[in-house]
Amino acid sequence: MQLKDGRVEGVSFTEARWTGGQITPTVVVLHDTASRLTPGAAARYLADNARKVSVHFVIERDGRVVQQVPVGVRANHAGRSHYHGRDHVNAFSVGIEIVNPGRMEAAPGGFARAWYGEEFDINTYGIQELRTEAHGHGLWMAYPEEQIEAVLRLLEALFDGCDALEDIVTHWYISPGRKVDTNPLFPLSHVRARIVGREEPAEWQADAAADDIDGDELMQVDTRGDPLNMRRWPSFNPNVIDRIPDGTLVPVVKAGSFSGRRWVKVAFGGAEGWVVENYLKEPPE
């Protein structure tokens, strides 16, 4: 695959009805279609629908890719969204829809039921029951190898052909609490590591922007009894890696301001992570 003049060569193109003006995309947003698995069904809906939704690419379960909006033209895929201090993610993103039924619930006889009523054999489709902070509880369908490989090939073409692209995120990341796609079985860390060379760009960006703390400064957690969330990067997106008990003394590693709030990076439990500065105080002498 190769990106040229907004289109990926070798990929079929079906023009979507609902699009906007010119944009310079800096992030790619990955979605699940939460649709039937019938080939072409999701693509036909996304090309023209009453909700005025559109997307740049649709990836079928067998790995076929359909482009519907040129890269550099706005598509209506993200809705109400926020990314690292910026709202309206449609204005600076490429949207990729991956055909998958989304969150399902248990049905009798070893089946899982999608929101639209269709049932899938749990063993046949590699469906797993999982709960995560970002997704909540549900039954989730695995992504076929052909589909994941198509995602990777498409992302390689986009990042090779679009110099402004710098990050890959999911819908749940930019719309936490409102969206749960991609589902917990999507290999996001693997995809990020292969395409951008690191698992979480936000971690690297935060470390680069923060100030190092000299010496062996210690601060005490002050949460009036509640544990303090320690996060992979300074954001309230679902990224908690540990919870620090109230009253714990923690070494401070870095400090900085992010989205108008002061955060510090501390060491705890053999790891380092970010906490809100307001929940720390000088330790007693």
User: Can you give the CATH number for the domain in which 231 is found?
Assistant: 2.30.30.40
Q: What is the CATH number of the domain that holds 83?
A: 3.40.80.10
What's the gap between Cα 185 and its chain centre? Answer: 12
Pair (180, 227) in one structural domain: no
Q: Are residues 146 and 245 in the same domain?
A: no
Are 62 and 190 contained in the same domain?
yes
- 87 strand-pairing partners: 82
The reported pLDDT for the residue numbered 194 is 85
Picking from 198, 222, 241, the residue at the C-terminal end of a domain is 198
pLDDT of residue 206: 78
Higher pLDDT, 233 or 117: 117
| Same domain (yes/no): 44, 123 | yes
> What pLDDT, in 10s, does the model give residues 124-179?
998 999 988 788 999 999 999 999 999 999 999 999 999 999 999 999 999 988 99
Do 98 and 122 sit in the same domain of this protein?
yes
143 lies in the same domain as 159 = yes
The pLDDT-based confidence of 85 (bands split at 50, 70, 90) is confident
**Distance set, CA 127 to CA 119, 185, 270 (Å):** 11, 9, 34
Looking at the structure, do residues 191 and 222 belong to the same domain, yes or no?
no
Please say which residue of 164, 198, 232 terminates a domain.
198
Beta-sheet pairing, 93-98 with 19-22:
unpaired
Contact 187, 33 (CB under 8 A): no
Torsions phi, psi for 17 (to 5 deg): -75, -40
Of 155, 177, 198, the position where a domain reaches its end is 198
- Do 37 and 134 have their domain in common? yes
- What is the share, in percent, of the chain residues with pLDDT greater than 90? 73
216 pLDDT higher than 80: no
C-beta of residue 139 within 8 angstroms of C-beta of residue 128:
yes
The boundaries of the domain holding residue 183 are: 2-198
Instruction: Dump pLDDT digits (tens) for 222-263.
Output: 998 999 999 888 887 667 888 999 999 999 999 998 877 899
Q: Are residues 183 and 234 in the same domain?
A: no
Contacts of 130 (CB under 8 A, 6+ apart): 137, 138, 140, 184, 185
The count of structural domains within the chain is 2
Percent of the residues in the chain that have a pLDDT greater than 70, as a whole number: 96
With tokens 């922007």, the residue in question is 209
In this structure, are 148 and 255 located in the same domain? Answer: no
* Residue 191 shares a structural domain with residue 158: yes
pLDDT at 211: 84
